[in-house]
């Protein structure tokens, strides 16, 4: 297969939907020679901040000289963003070759694997072929039945728990925490961000039942972090705790340099000083976004360009974002699960635009700072628009 043909095939697997469970993943791994057996992992789950913690771990470990693989999701612009070795995306020919092998393994429905299951095995196979010394592995949606949970890590890492994916993970924090706690393995150390009491109780119980030592981070990292927001200092503290728990060599200076240089697109990413693109997509992350906005922009209000998915609590997000919004521009998200923008409403002035580019034009004409948020898919679309990349020049 060519690279384009390979992407067409794996994207076709999206029509199989979401399937929780490890059966397909384990079958694909076994047929691929169990590449995960030759790798060491730091496994990261949670509701918010897990991607940031993953890139922090990757940055620090690479500064310490580790040959590091990084698996994250979703991608924002390019599928290969999901699979990186030493900071570089997997080459197109490696992706095409890996997907060709997996298509042959899957056959005509012999293994009815989903997009995420295929992508996970593709990544693990590539990391093994690349000789990675350690892999930072981000879960997809849950934990217990997530495709990434087919590995045995050096340490299990749990970021803050909030309400999200309730139709799959449960309608209470306890139920969601139970699913996330599924990455806790017998005897494997666990490190956690500060949690709501309901989630902390679940995590402590799961760790005790599995004989896994557990530690909760108690204060933020006090050094410089290359990502905006006070919450990122808590994420950095969790990354440091994870490295310490894993036993992987990483000096204090290497960790500090890794935190300074860390970069994560679509997370309070600024363009020209007046445009921010952020992937906040649930109420918990919206709260964090509002706090970060105020720490950077003070009392200045934004024109908020907002789009979300139908399975998200858009109403709660909008009520939170109203604190920093003077006007909303509702736009569609290019995803089958996108919320029709005309169904959204707010107490603040709002309008509907037919697409993100048009919405940005409306926001820019209104003057003042602009915030794009509501979905990682929307953030990814924004990063692919020339108008966003050129914003600093156009705003000059």
Predicted pLDDT at 396? 40
CATH superfamily of 269-395: Mur ligase, C-terminal domain (3.90.190.20)
Span 12-59, pLDDT tens digits? 876 566 667 899 999 999 999 999 999 999 999 999 899 999 999 999
Binned at pLDDT 50, 70 and 90, residue 375 comes out as very high
- What is the domain partition of the chain in residue ranges? 3-261, 269-395
Whole-angstrom CA distances from 61 to 132, 251, 295 are 12, 9, 29
Question: pTM to 2 decimals?
Answer: 0.91
Does pLDDT of 107 surpass 90? no
Q: Is pLDDT at 224 greater than 80 in this prediction? A: yes
What is the rounded average pLDDT of the residues 241-261?
Answer: 98
CATH of 3-261, picked from 3.40.50.2020, 3.40.1190.10, 3.20.20.70, 1.10.3720.10, is 3.40.1190.10
b/e string for 307-320 if b means 16 or more Cβ within 10 A? bbbeebbbeebbeb
Alpha carbon distance 79, 89 (integer Å):
9
pLDDT tens-digit readout, 109-167: 789 999 999 999 999 999 999 999 999 999 998 899 999 999 999 999 999 998 776 66
Query: In the prediction, which pLDDT does 171 show?
Result: 81
CA 279-309-326 angle, to 5 degrees, is 60
| Angstrom distance (rounded) from CA 274 to CA 285 | 21
Residue 352 belongs to what H/E stretch? Answer: strand 350-352
Find all residues with CB under 8 Å of 223, minimum gap 6, and list them. Answer: 236, 256, 259, 260
Q: What is the DSSP letter of 56?
A: H
What's the whole-number mean pLDDT along residues 73-102? 97
389 — pLDDT class (breaks 50, 70, 90): confident
Q: In this predicted structure, what is the pLDDT of residue 394? A: 59
Start-to-end C-alpha separation, the chain: 45
**How high is the pLDDT of residue 17?**
61
Q: How far is CA 141 from CA 199, 244, 266, in A?
A: 16, 26, 19
Q: Cβ distance 23 to 52 under 8 Å? A: no
CA distance 217 to 229: 18
């Amino acid at each position: 297969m060519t690279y384009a043909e390979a992407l067409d095939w794996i994207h076709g697997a999206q029509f199989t939907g979401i399937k929780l469970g490890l059966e397909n993943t384990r079958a694909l791994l076994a047929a691929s020679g169990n590449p995960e057996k030759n790798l060491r992992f730091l496994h990261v789950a949670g509701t918010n901040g897990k991607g940031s913690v993953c890139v922090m771990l990757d940055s620090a470990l690479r500064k310490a000289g580790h040959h590091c693989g990084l698996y994250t999701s979703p991608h924002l612009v390019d599928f290969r963003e999901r699979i990186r070795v030493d900071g570089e995306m997997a080459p197109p020919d490696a992706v095409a070759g890996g997907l060709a092998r997996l298509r042959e393994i899957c056959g005509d429905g012999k293994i009815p694997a989903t997009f995420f299951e295929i992508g996970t095995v593709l990544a693990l196979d590539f990391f093994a072929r690349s000789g990675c010394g350690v892999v930072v592995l981000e879960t997809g949606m849950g934990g217990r039945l997530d495709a990434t949970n087919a590995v045995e890590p050096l340490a299990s890492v749990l970021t803050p728990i909030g309400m999200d994916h309730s139709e799959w993970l449960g309608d209470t924090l306890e139920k969601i925490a139970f699913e996330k706690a599924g990455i806790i393995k017998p005897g494997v150390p666990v490190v956690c961000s500060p949690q709501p009491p309901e989630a902390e109780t679940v995590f402590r119980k799961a760790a005790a039942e599995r004989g896994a030592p557990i530690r909760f981070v108690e204060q933020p990292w006090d050094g410089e972090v290359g990502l905006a927001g006070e919450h990122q200092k808590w994420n950095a503290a969790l990354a440091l705790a994870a490295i310490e728990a894993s036993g992987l060599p990483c000096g204090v200076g290497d960790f500090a340099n890794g935190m300074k240089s860390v970069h994560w697109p679509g997370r309070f990413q600024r363009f020209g000083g007046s445009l921010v693109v952020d992937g906040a997509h649930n109420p918990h992350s919206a709260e964090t976004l509002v706090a970060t906005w105020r720490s950077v922009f003070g009392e200045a209000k934004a024109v908020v360009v907002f789009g979300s998915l139908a399975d998200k609590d858009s109403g709660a997000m909008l009520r939170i974002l109203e604190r920093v919004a003077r006007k909303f521009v509702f736009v569609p998200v290019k995803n089958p699960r996108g919320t029709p923008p005309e169904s959204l409403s707010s107490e603040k002035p709002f309008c509907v635009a037919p697409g993100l580019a048009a919405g940005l034009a409306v926001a820019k004409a209104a003057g003042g700072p602009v915030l794009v948020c509501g979905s990682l898919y929307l953030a990814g679309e924004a990063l692919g628009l020339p108008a966003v990349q050129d914003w600093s020049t156009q705003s000059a």
